[in-house]
Amino acid sequence: AVMDLFGDLRRMNKRQLYYQVLNFAMIVSSALMIWKGLIVITGSESPIVVVLSGSMEPAFHRGDLLFLTNFHDDPIRAGEIVVFKVEGRDIPIVHRVIKIHEKENGNIKFLTKGDNNEVDDRGLYKEGQNWLEKKDVVGRARGFLPYVGMVTIIMNDYPKFKYALLAVMGAYVLLKRES
């Protein structure tokens, strides 16, 4: 009878472990679905970004979380804060539009600058590029949460912290018992 009990326990633990693994997979896939949904709703390939530098202070600080939209019918205007990608740089840049050139046919070229920077962004653009175009824009800032993104910055600056955090979260999900 004692051996039967151990067999039951072992079977139950295996079942419990599978259940927790499936639970974890469900959480991950739900997060991905929400992210894809946001991409569709906002029209931006990254609807949420973290400000990584102090170039936009005092408007935005390092660690602020920005919410972006990128609707193509919306004209870009001077004074607007855009997030753009430049060839040869992986990380998008969050800066303000300071000048606009609009052609008869509706094509727009514009120049950006960080509020806290002395000079415009021409030094950041790829060589020979003096203006940005709509295709360079990832999104436009529509709202923000202050400092919520600090976790992301800490994880980038200290990779060991990232792995420790992931290990703790993984262990919690796998070991958590259903009450």
> 61 vs 177, which has greater pLDDT?
61
DSSP 8-state symbol, 3: H
Average pLDDT over every residue of 51-70:
94
Taking the C-alpha atoms of 114, 116, 122 and 127 in order, what is their torsion angle to the nearest 10 degrees?
-90
**Single pTM value for the model:** 0.75
Backbone torsions φ then ψ of 82, nearest 5 degrees: -120, 155
Lowest average pLDDT, out of 5-19, 22-36, 54-68, goes to 5-19
Contact call for residues 62 and 153 (beta carbons, < 8 A):
yes
pLDDT tens digits, residue range 98-157? 999 988 887 899 999 999 999 999 999 998 899 999 999 999 999 999 999 998 888 888
Average pLDDT over every residue of 161-166:
86
Given this model, what pLDDT does residue 43 score? Answer: 93
* Catalytic residue set: 55, 95, 121
Helix, strand or coil, per DSSP, at residue 68? strand
Q: HSE (CB half, 13 Å, CA atoms) of 150?
A: 5
Nearest to residue 164, comparing CAs of 153, 175, 155, 173?
155
CA distance 24 to 44: 27
Given this model, what pLDDT does residue 178 score? Answer: 57
The percentage of the chain sitting over the pLDDT mark of 70, rounded to a whole number, equals: 92
